């Protein structure tokens, strides 16, 4: 064998060894991971994770003093409960209605609240809002949150308001004269151009539904902020008009939106997903609804029947 091969082989082996050491350093979590911070108790904590916990705590700042308040005692004391009512009407009534009957926000006058199954979760929502929705954090003074929570719980114990119409007749009008399934979904039927109405009776009160039928533009979103549909209030569908740089015009209900894209469902039920970089125009129409007004479609008695039917829709698997 030629002796000149050995020096070359030696250098090749050295090179492979160096590459192997570099790969090991790259894969070693002790060398690649950020150094954990030493805590006062002697333990170690990742600074990024701790920062996230602190931010979440800040968003839902429920103090120990708030949690220690006996909400049942406030409910049992009319004078104390009146304080909660006054704060609620000032801070929450615009969206939820002064009696919690629902408006732009959901109905609170019901025994079970899906997002607030216990008092601590209710206090967290009152204090920190619900990120990604139109529910903001309340601007309350220290100690006011338990009074608001007590009033909300008291609303849920009031008798459910009885609709004056005939729900059975309303069901027929809903599907025939109203042709509501042309746009809305009910128990899986319909194109979902408008909101799903399967459990509308749990989410909105009679006053809201009557107003939506007579003045649909009054109950559309008043905010232009992007949102994710799966965590937003179900009825807050915004009407959007776009035009691409190639001249294609699309209008419909905003289903989802982020910094880079927007998804629409047009009035035929077709979905459109568009990159914002491809758009020449993007218009979010405040106070505009594709839903027609039904004041000239239903008589006053028929309107009562349709509202009674909508109130009865509480979801196939939902009970009070």
pLDDT in tens, the chain (320 residues): 455 554 555 454 555 554 444 444 443 333 333 444 444 444 444 444 444 444 444 444 678 888 888 999 999 999 999 999 999 999 998 888 888 887 777 888 888 888 888 999 999 999 888 876 778 877 888 899 999 999 999 998 887 778 889 999 999 999 999 999 988 889 888 887 778 899 888 778 888 889 889 988 776 555 444 444 333 333 356 788 999 999 999 998 888 888 899 999 888 888 999 999 999 999 987 667 778 899 999 999 999 999 999 989 987 644 33
Helix or strand run (H / E) with residue 26: helix 5-27
Shared-domain flag, residues 263 and 244: yes
Residue 188 lies in a domain: yes
Side-chain-side CA neighbours of residue 184 (13 Å) = 19
State the total domains in the chain. Answer: 3
Residue that finishes a domain, picked among 155, 178, 199: 155
Q: In angstroms, what CA-CA distances link 186 with 122, 156, 172, 200, 312?
A: 29, 26, 14, 10, 12
Residues 65 and 147 in one domain: yes
Residues 146 and 76 in one domain: yes
Q: Count CA atoms within 13 Å of residue 247 on its CB side.
A: 0
Provide the domain limits for residue 128.
Answer: 60-155
In a domain, 47, yes or no: no
What residues form DSSP beta bridges with 307? Answer: none
Residue 178 DSSP symbol? S
Instruction: Tell me: do 308 and 204 sit in the same domain.
Output: yes
Q: What is the CATH number of the domain that holds 199?
A: 1.10.760.10
Q: Are residues 137 and 77 in the same domain?
A: yes
Same domain as 125, residue 90: yes
In a shared domain, residues 212 and 233: no
Asked if residue 53 is part of any domain, the answer here is no
* Local structure of 208: helix, strand or coil: helix
- Do 244 and 213 reside in the same domain of the chain? no
CATH of the domain at 257: 2.30.30.100
- The answer to whether residue 209 sits within a structural domain is yes
In which residue are the tokens 């916990």 written? 53
On whether both 115 and 72 belong to a single domain, the answer is yes
- 257 part of a folded domain: yes
Is 250 within 8 Å of 266 (Cβ atoms)? yes
pTM for this prediction? 0.60
């Amino acid at each position: 064998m030629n002796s000149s091969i050995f020096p070359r082989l030696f250098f090749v082996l050295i090179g492979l060894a160096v590459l192997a050491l570099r790969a090991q350093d790259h894969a070693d979590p002790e060398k690649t991971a950020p150094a954990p911070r030493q805590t006062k108790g002697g333990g170690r904590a990742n600074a990024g994770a701790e920062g996230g916990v602190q931010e979440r705590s800040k968003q839902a700042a429920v103090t120990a003093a708030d949690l220690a308040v006996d909400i049942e005692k406030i409910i049992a004391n009319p004078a104390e409960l009146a304080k909660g009512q006054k704060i609620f009407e000032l801070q929450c009534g615009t969206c939820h209605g002064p009696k919690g009957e629902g408006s732009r926000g959901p109905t609170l006058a019901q025994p079970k609240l899906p997002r607030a199954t216990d008092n601590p979760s209710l206090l967290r929502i009152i204090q920190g809002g619900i990120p990604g929705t139109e529910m903001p954090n309340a601007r309350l003074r220290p100690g006011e949150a338990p009074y608001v929570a007590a009033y909300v719980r008291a609303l849920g114990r009031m008798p459910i308001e009885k609709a004056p119409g005939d729900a059975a007749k309303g069901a027929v009008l809903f599907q025939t004269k109203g042709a509501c399934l042309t746009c809305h979904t009910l128990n899986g039927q319909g194109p979902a151009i408008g909101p799903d109405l399967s459990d509308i009776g749990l989410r909105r009160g009679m006053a809201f539904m009557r107003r939506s039928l007579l003045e649909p533009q009054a109950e559309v979103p008043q905010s232009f902020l992007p949102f994710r549909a799966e965590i937003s209030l179900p009825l807050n569908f915004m009407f959007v008009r776009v035009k691409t740089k190639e001249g294609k015009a699309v209008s419909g209900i905003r289903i989802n939106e982020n910094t880079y894209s927007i998804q629409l469902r047009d009035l035929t039920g077709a979905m459109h997903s568009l990159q914002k970089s491809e758009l020449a125009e993007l218009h979010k129409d405040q106070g505009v609804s594709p839903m027609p007004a039904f004041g000239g479609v239903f008589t006053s008695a028929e309107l009562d029947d349709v509202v009674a039917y909508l109130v009865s829709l509480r979801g196939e698997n939902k009970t009070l």
